[in-house]
Amino acid sequence: MNARQPGKDKLEHEGAALGRIHALANNRKALGYWLGFLKGILASNDVETAEFEPLSVEAENFLRLLHDPDAYELIEDLRIWKNEPREVYEIIQSIVDVRSRDFVVESEKDEINELYGFCAGIACDNHITPEEAERLLSRIDEYPRIQADRRVRDVRNAVKRSIADGRITPDESDDICTWITHLVGDSATDTGIATFGNVGVIEGALNDHNDVVFDQRMFVLTGKFTLGPRKAIQGMISDRGGEFKGNVCRNTHYLCVAAEASRDWKHSHEGLKIIRAIELRAEGRGPQVVHEGTLAQAFAR
């Protein structure tokens, strides 16, 4: 049966048909991120007490997404062994060893999604140790293709600066965590929610809703909006004199990014529209980026 409904030119965003088409890729994306996150937890050669809560939050998320039996058992083990971090470390190491046999990095997508998970894992307690920094640097250098992303290079440069003298000060740790938020958003310690499915902090995004002009401006939407269905948001843009299209190009004025990542994005924290916008902005001709909260304020003017 054709996945497209009669009379429809394109598959519905976040719809069931599109979900079925992307199911395998989305599961692989999530699994790569989950393994990367667990490896990030292990990177300090210990499990810090402050990592228990974000680890539980992330495990709950992957239990929901993947129905992952290891995530379920880890949640239970965190309750049982809450005063035994070394025992938890051994449990996580065992999960990583077993699951890594089935998940072998095969593509740039895998490299990026696992790196994002690793970054979230080491930063989930808002503290970076020298061991975590060294392993992050090695991981970035192991996959040179991902350094095409300027945000990854910024993380790498921050890490290199911080470990130049063999130690990491609290300010240097904060600096690395700040650059990591550009990739994976705020840590679970900050928000209480899982980082997978979150949206990274996009540098240079408009903060003042008064700077958003609707009349005769071209808008592109990406992500899963809490404001309402995309058609409703497009209608609000049209009512104010704006226009909208499906893809980012040089004449796009605004890329509006939802608070929640789309299930079908290429990577765990950004899709092709965000990737294209970042590329164009690096050339000095890209669209302004507007996060959902700022767009909501602009609508309310």
Residue 264: is its pLDDT beyond 80?
A: no
**φ, ψ (nearest 5 deg) of residue 218:** -100, 125
Task: Supply the DSSP symbol for 244.
Answer: E
Over residues 181-233, the pLDDT tens digits come to: 988 988 888 887 888 878 888 888 999 999 999 999 999 999 989 999 999 99
3-state secondary structure of 45: coil
Residue 5 has pLDDT above 50, yes or no: no
Rounded CA-CA distance 49/84 in Å is 9
How many residues does this entry show for the chain? Answer: 301
> What CATH class does 209-299 carry?
alpha beta
Spatial distance between the Cα atoms of 170 and 161, rounded to a whole number of angstroms: 13
Q: With 60 as the cut, is the pLDDT of residue 7 above it?
A: no
Question: Rounded CA gap, 274 and 248, in Å?
Answer: 8
For the segment 191-200, what is each residue's pLDDT rounded down to a tens digit? Answer: 878 888 788 8
Q: Work out the mean pLDDT of the chain and round it to a whole number.
A: 89
pTM score of the predicted model: 0.82
Q: Are 157 and 93 in contact (CB under 8 A)?
A: no
Q: What burial class does residue 69 get, using C-beta atoms within 10 Å of its C-beta: 0-12 exposed, 13-18 middle, 19+ buried?
A: exposed
Extents of the domains making up the chain: 16-191, 209-299
Burial of 148 (0-12, 13-18, 19+ CB in 10 A): exposed
Instruction: Give the residue, 99 or 65, on which the prediction is more confident.
Output: 99
84-114: pLDDT as tens digits: 999 999 999 999 999 999 898 889 999 999 9
Cβ pair 240, 215 in contact under 8 A: yes
Cα→Cα distances 271→33, 65, 198, 261, Å: 15, 19, 12, 8
